[in-house]
Amino acid sequence: MYDDDTRKRRRLTKAVLLAAVPLAAAAALAGPLTGMFSGGPADGGPGGGRGRGASPAPAAPGTPAATGPGPSTSARSGAAPLAGKVVVIDPGHNPGNFQHTAEINETVDVGTHRKECDTTGTSTNAGYTEAAFTLDVSRRLRVVLQGKGATVEFTHDADRPFGPCVDERARIGNAAGGGEGADAVVSVHADGSAAGNRGHHVILPALVKAGAADTAPIVGPSRTLGERIQAAFARATGSAPANYLGGGTGLDVRDDLGGLNLSTVPKVFVECGNMRDPDDAALLADATWRQKAAQGIADGISTYLLG
């Protein structure tokens, strides 16, 4: 028989032991669960803005990068050199433009003159369209930039029937990042020149001051952005600068593009190759090469933003 004090001590000991059992079980489970979610593939999905959570598996070769918000492992671990930077990616044209020719033929003011809202873009002889190419490369580019910690916004993601028009594309970059404007805007394209004309080039804004256009504040930084992208693109893809313009520099200055004329933030166009040349077309149609193209553009943007 126990006295009252002894019984109280026994009941207290039993209560402590019973409480410890679920705590121990939870601790045992925590280890495996942490292991399940601490790793993951290097590439996250290409959803707009910064991602959170585990990354999905990389997309199969020949397909656009899988959708979803996950950043790279390096971004999750804190190695995010572009954190706080806002990049707008402008996929040239839109797959839906082919069904909306009347709408995209309407003209808009680009500062120096009026110009078509948009065009269908070009294609390879085999029918691979520029609109499909630019969307694929842009999605891959988004994945790489998000892996570096950047906030990425698109002018469109084939989520609208056509367009946007060139003036709206400029306004999207100007208003990005909550209205402060993007740190850099890159419009992704492929050229439609004559066969035999090969290579890549980057289009830079000319000095334009007319109507709603005033590129004076962005000419200098846009040139720096373009030079960084051209050099990185050449390294990543092994592609030579265009042999038909730019004097072998891979750079071309134009004053007739509304997307550049109306931009108030640093912006360039990247013409990744010539779809009408069979050798360039073979590269542009290759998923492995398109990944290199995206990496090269991302590397150029990164070196520009990091100074």
Facing residues of 201 across strands? 271
Location of structure tokens 């948009």: 118
Q: Which of 163, 186, 157 is nearest to 265 (CA)?
A: 186
Task: Give yes or no: residues 48 and 171 share one domain.
Answer: yes
pLDDT at residue 14 greater than cutoff 70: no
Determine the length of the chain.
307
Q: Which of 254, 284, 281, 279 is nearest to 269 (CA)?
A: 254
Give this prediction's pTM: 0.76
Task: Give yes or no: residues 215 and 116 share one domain.
Answer: yes
| 180 labelled catalytic | no
As a whole number of Å, the end-to-end CA separation of the chain is 82
Residue type, 61: P
Read off the pLDDT band of 17 (50, 70, 90): very low
Number of Cβ atoms within 10 Å of the Cβ of 81: 14
pLDDT at 224: 98
Buried b (16+ CB within 10 A) or exposed e, 184-221: bbbbbbbbbbeeebbbbbbbbbbebeeeebebeebbee
Task: Give yes or no: residues 172 and 280 share one domain.
Answer: yes
Task: Give yes or no: residues 31 and 53 share one domain.
Answer: no
pLDDT at 24: 40
Task: Give yes or no: residues 264 and 221 share one domain.
Answer: yes
pLDDT digits (tens, 9 = 90+) for 181-234: 999 999 999 999 999 999 999 999 999 999 999 999 999 999 999 999 999 999
Domain range for 17 = 1-38
pLDDT at 79: 74
Task: Give yes or no: residues 50 and 72 share one domain.
Answer: yes
Task: Give yes or no: residues 18 and 49 share one domain.
Answer: no
Instruction: State how many domains the chain has.
Output: 2
pLDDT at residue 239 greater than cutoff 60: yes
Task: Give yes or no: residues 7 and 75 share one domain.
Answer: no
Task: Give yes or no: residues 234 and 296 share one domain.
Answer: yes
The two tokens of residue 287 are: 């998923």
